[in-house]
Amino acid sequence: MRAKTSAIWLYAVVPAAQRGAPAGLTGVAGEPVRLITGERLSVLVGDVPLSDFDHDPLRDHLEDLRWLEEAARAHHRVIDAAARSSDVVPLRFATLYHDEAAVRAVLSERLEDFTSALQRIAGRTEWGVKAYVDPDMLAAPADEPESDQNTPGTAYLRRRRAQRQGQRDARQRAAQRAEEIHTALADLAVGALQHPPQDARLAAYRGWMILNGSYLVDDERAQEFAAAVDSCDQRFPEVRLELSGPWPAYSFTTEDRERQGEQS
Amino acid sequence: MTGRDQSESHDATPNVRQRIAVDRESVERGLASLVLTIIELLRQLMERQALRRIDEGDLSDEQVESLGLTLMALEDRMTELREHFGLSPDDLNIDLGPLGPLLPRDE
Amino acid sequence: MSTARDEHLPGQSPIAWQGQQIALVDLLDRVLAGGVVISGEITLCIADIDLVRISLRALVASVRAGWDTNTAGGTANPMAKGNIP
């Protein structure tokens, strides 16, 4: 019996009506992407070498940011390409199975979940909105405490207290802005959630990231949504907004994520 | 220590020395940033505590003045040390992962 | 079926669309933390990805344990945890 040398990497679940994977598409290992077709659902997969994708080598690779970047982009490329011609339910990065039989088994076990996920995202697109603020623009100019040359230590403490208070006020104001923006955008979406703010060392931005949201929006409302982002940008001059997308509905594949947002 | 270094000619020794010197510098800097981070943590805690007690009003004017002078001197000294080691305020921090950074980044 | 992608190609809107290079952080926010999670006969289970996230935490702050469950109703304040950069 020959030892297995490959595993199956899963990209996304698509309706079975989908006739084939987009031609010439390659995946995380440069492998050709293919379709495993079930009764009502199919899944886009690739055969990847165990030498790189077995538990231990994969774990090591995932700690290498360059490898991770390449693989994540490839994973997304496959899903994004598929999303151009059908609804897709993305699978989490690094979902691997030993063989085709196991993949078919999970397709039928989770038929209901996948089907409702497909229905939930049909005709909808995920958009990302990030908001940044320059803390200096938020802080009200601190009243210069009367400086008394006879008591420089006391003056110092007064200054420090004013600065701390100013920072607190700025944080509060920023939180309020973030909340207003998130609420306004969630109003136009069927699902909304916030990711943690991105690490400034990786994302390279100045100031504070006060919002890092994902919004599931009906395609007919996409323009309206983009306009709302624009209008929030105008309404809050101290806040800078960035729209990213269109994304396949990564953040809204499970029911509780949708419940977290405002429903329309 | 790579094979390549050993196979170089007579510059192997200065290269190694240079690398050790750089390493020592960065080790010192690493230690300095760790120590200064802890001191900065304490400074912030003391400052917060001082302001709280002033607000509570249980310190005399002289005590407030003395406290202020001490904290002011401490802040100046910290800045000196930081600049001596070429560390920015952002360098003084420890990432506690899920707990976030040790020091709030904006105080 | 027409998707938003068909209607909004890059260059047709003043707002930045995905035609440009996608920012890695934006991608990781989604592919690592999003998507359906299934387990079973897999070679790398999700719990191990959490370990990887922890070792990447200095670089990638996009996934924090339990964060997603705390954002119910979108009321969580990202800055309340003192993580302002």
State chain A's mean pLDDT as an integer.
88
Query: What is the pLDDT, as a whole number, of residue C55?
Result: 47
pLDDT (tens digit, 9 = 90+) per residue, C25-60? 899 889 988 888 876 555 555 444 554 444 444 444
Q: What is the per-residue pLDDT for A73? A: 95
Question: Position A143: which residue type?
Answer: D
Mean pLDDT across C63-80: 37
Q: Touching B: which chains, 3+ CB pairs < 8 A?
A: A, C
**What residue ranges do the domains of chain B occupy?**
13-91
**CB-based contact A160 B71, cutoff 8 Å:** yes
**Amino acid, res. C44:** L
**C84 inside domain:** no
- What's the N-to-C CA distance of chain B in angstroms? 42
What confidence score (pLDDT) does residue A161 get? 92
**In this prediction, what percent of chain A has a pLDDT beyond 70?**
91
Task: Give the Cα separation of A43 and C78 in Å (integer).
Answer: 36
Question: Which stretch of A6-10, A56-60, A66-70, C61-65 has the lowest confidence by average pLDDT?
Answer: C61-65
Check pLDDT > 50 for residue B94: yes
How many domains does chain C contain in total?
Answer: 1
Complex confidence, ipTM: 0.83
Name the β-bridge partners of A124.
Answer: A218
- For residue A194, the SS3 value is strand
DSSP character at residue A48: E
What would the pLDDT profile of A164-174 be if each residue is shown by its tens digit? 998 888 889 99
Cβ neighbours of A63 (radius 10 Å): 13
More confident residue, B96 or B81: B81
The CA-atom distances, in angstroms, between B31 and each of A73, B43, B45, C67 are 38, 18, 21, 33
Within-domain flag for C49: yes
pLDDT at B2: 40
- Chain C residues with beta carbon closer than 8 angstroms to that of A219: 2-4, 7
Quick one: pLDDT band at residue B9, thresholds 50, 70, 90?
Answer: very low
Q: How far apart are CA C47 and CA A92, in angstroms?
A: 12
| Region A64-93 average pLDDT | 92
Rounded to whole angstroms, the Cα distance separating B78 from B68 reads 15
Residue type, A249: A
Tokens of C63: 């996934």
Q: Is residue C68 part of a domain?
A: no
pLDDT of residue B11 exceeding 60: no
pLDDT band at C74 (very low <50, low <70, confident <90, very high): very low
- The pLDDT assigned to C32 comes to 86
Q: Is residue C52 part of a domain?
A: yes
Q: Which among A122, A131, A264 has a CA at the least distance from the CA of A192?
A: A264
Is the Cβ of A17 closer than 8 Å to some Cβ of chain C?
no
- The Cα A148–Cα A168 span in angstroms is 26
Q: Is residue C26 part of a domain?
A: no
Pick the residue with more confidence: B78 or A23?
Answer: B78
Query: In terms of pLDDT, which residue wins out, C81 or A81?
Result: A81
Q: Inter-chain contact B107–A167, Cβ cutoff 8 Å? A: yes
Position C46 in a domain = yes
| Other beta carbons within 10 Å of B61 | 9
Under an 8 A CB cutoff, do A151 and B65 touch? yes
The CA distance from C63 to A199, in Å, is: 10
Do the Cβ atoms of A157 and B66 come within 8 Å? no
Residue A65: pLDDT band (50, 70, 90) is confident
Structural domain boundaries enclosing C52: 36-63
Say if residue A54's pLDDT is above 70. yes
Which residue of A134, A158, A160 is the best one to mutate when testing the B interface, meaning the one whose CB has the most B CBs within 10 A? Answer: A160
- Residue A52 clears pLDDT 80, i.e. is over it: yes
